[in-house]
Amino acid sequence: MRVIEHPTEMQLFSNNIRQTHQSIGFVPTMGYLHQGHISLLDAARQQSDQVVLSIFVNPTQFSPGEDLSVYPKDLPKDLDIAEKAGVDIVFTPTDKDLYGDHYQTYVQLKQLPNYLCGIHRPTHFQGVATVVTKLFNMVKPHVAFFGEKDYQQLAVIRQMVQDLNFDITIIGCPIVRESDGLAMSSRNVYLSKEQRQTALILSQSLYRSQQKVTKGITDAETLINEAKKDIESLPETRIDYVRICNKDTLEDLPEVMMDGLMALAVHVGRTRLIDNRILTREYCTVKA
């Protein structure tokens, strides 16, 4: 495994790989890797000749007052995990590499960022779209892999790739959960033991909503209000949003017809967590 720090070196490596007609699979991350990231690396390993992992905590997707300064980092551990996962290249650029003096170019989508997390984090998806564009131009992948836990992010990137004619295939990979249902996230490390138990209400609310849909309760307002009631009954919870929306456009749905995305963001203590599930009348009996 090789570690590359500078964008020009990364581009040179990718150019050389492309000249040999090998495919490049790319997994962009902010590090502090967990099993969810490993599942993306596994998918990339299966579908690509060369796997590139980037580790970069992107400052432009954090708003003032968010956790940029304390976001968890452990590069030696990440490199060990990456090597065991069969990664070929780990790309670790710096803030200066990606946003030098007088930087002034950003990528902005008009519609998709206006829903869900974008309402509460108005500059977040501009930062995401910008850094992913830059990473795509440096890594030059054929295929890139993103987790479905960050569903809106995945939708934004797919739309951006379509709109800007990137010659890249975007693969969404299923949410990876702990044995008790909690969606894996680097931010889970912030939770105390008690908060960790409270955080289970996210996946439980999604599961209960699917049970209700299966029983014929499909009114979105009813499902949302009952989920909110469950969440707010527990200590240290504060809801950013609970929504049922079109899985492609993210527009609110009045009712779950064949399917619909239920997405939520909840603060447990000082930690903001997100989760989602496709609600469908053709329900799989396996619990989340």
Active site residues: 37
Where b means 16+ CB within 10 Å and e means fewer, 238-260 reads eebbbbbbebeebeebeebeeeb
Are the C-beta atoms of 198 and 232 separated by less than 8 Å? Answer: no
H or E segment and range at residue 137: helix 124-139
H or E segment and range at residue 265: strand 259-268
Q: How far is CA 129 from CA 100, 158, 216, in A?
A: 18, 10, 38
Residue 236 gets the label, from left (phi > 0), alpha (psi -120 to 50) or beta, of: left
The Cα–Cα gap between 172 and 175 comes to 9
The Cα–Cα gap between 159 and 129 comes to 10
**What would the two tokens of residue 83 be?**
């090597």
